[in-house]
Amino acid sequence: MTTRGKTYASLLVVVLLTTGVYAANGWLADGDADKSGQAGSETSASGDAVPVSTEVATRGPISHLLGSTANLRARREVAVAAQAAGIVTSVKAEEGDFVEAGQVLCALDDRDLQIDLELARQRLAQTKIQLESAVIRAEQTQTRLRNKRTELERNEEALREGLLAESEVAVQRHEIDDLEHEIRAVESTVRENRHIQDQLESEIRKVELQISQTAITAPFAGRITERTVELGQSIRSAEKLYKLGAFSPLYADVYLPENDSRSVRAGQKAAVRLGSADGESAKGAVERVSPVVDDETGTVKVAVRFKPPSPAFRPGAFVRVEIETHTLDDAILIPKQSVIEEDGQTYVVLVREDSTAQRTAVELGYQDQTAIQVTSGLHAGAIVVTAGQGKLKDGDKTRVVAN
């Protein structure tokens, strides 16, 4: 082959190779375009579905709740006052302290009373000695009197027989009269000393009581809510020094409309919740229902009692109270957030088997913190939309993103 022929052959090969590369790139581009189109169609179809959260309607128990609000009060709360006047020598309890019944809260100076008590005890001891001496004298005089009477009987017999003179018998009779008088005097001394002893014992008990009153004690177990006494303070009798409250159990007094109160009975369960709806809660029970209706408000007072589960429950705290008046053991229940209210009608949105939405009117019954009873409009097992239902219309496609 000539040199010119070889050159033309090389150019032909280059042209063929270039054409093949362009063709291959075109086929790849067409394939990618087809795949991109398919993905776009799928994305478009997915974008038409509304994302929702759902839950299944179930069967279970639910209670009828009567709700109200109240401020907690202690079982009892009293002002602890001084029963004696004096100077405060010690303060042994502070605000917030828990104290037992009979525990000393503060004490007054009792030195003068202690001296009075010692003097009274000494006088009592002396009186007891005098009383004992008088009793001995009385016993001795009684013995002498008995002996004289025996002797007199013998001498009177001798007088009748002419063995003694009348004057000798008369002397013995006078001696007996003197002994009888002495006995009356000694017995009077005994009675007087016993009276003095009784007086002194009463005086000692009085002083001991006054001394005991210098120690101000807790009348019952509870927590100190206020202290107004200071060390060295001069206080008067009946002056208030502390406030003491018994914090367990606590009470919530709620006032219900007369019609609602008719279904409330002592012993019914109740829930007491602090502040907001998500606050800490405690279980309690109705202790009593007032037998009268307040003529100004038309309400009935209901006292709910419970044991505080934590220090967060304290007298004065604002609480929400719910009383269980009746319980249904088998009710159709749905979450409260699934209910829609429009123009006085209640609805829920169901998800059909083909994932489309169905707006359904329902009638509702009892409700608690999370669930609500459906009395008509759907059955147990139905799938209800709990989030995203506000954008749905009948027949809209749905896509469950969370349950």
Q: What is the pLDDT of residues 113-161, one digit of tens each?
A: 999 999 999 999 999 999 999 999 999 989 988 888 888 888 778 777 7
pTM: 0.58
Distance of alpha carbon 22 from alpha carbon 300, whole angstroms = 93
For residue range 243-258, list pLDDT tens digits in order. Answer: 999 998 999 999 999 9
What confidence tens digit (pLDDT) does each residue in 149-184 have? 888 888 778 777 777 778 887 888 888 888 899 989
Q: Both ends of the chain: CA-CA distance in Å? A: 81
What dihedral do alpha carbons 116, 122, 125, 126 form, nearest 10°?
Answer: -120
E-only strand ranges, 122-235:
215-217, 222-227, 234-235
The model's pLDDT over 244-301, given as tens digits with 9 standing for 90+, comes to 999 989 999 999 999 999 999 999 999 999 986 567 999 999 999 999 999 999 999 9
What's the token pair of residue 286?
A: 């109705």
What angle (nearest 5°) sits at the alpha carbon of residue 289, between those of residues 287 and 290?
A: 135
Amino acid at site 388: G
- Work out the number of other CB atoms within 10 angstroms of the CB of residue 298: 11
The first and second tokens of residue 252, run together, are: 């919530």
Q: How confident is the model at residue 37 (pLDDT cuts 50, 70, 90)?
A: very low
Give the residue-averaged pLDDT of 11-29: 37
Spatial distance between the Cα atoms of 385 and 53, rounded to a whole number of angstroms: 6
Please name the amino acid found at residue 67. Answer: G
Q: How far apart are CA 305 and CA 253, in angstroms?
A: 9
Say which residue the tokens 């309890």 belong to: 93
Structure tokens at 216: 């101000």
Preceding amide of 309 cis, omega within 30: no
CATH class, range 56-74+245-402: mainly beta
Which residue matches tokens 């009748």? 160
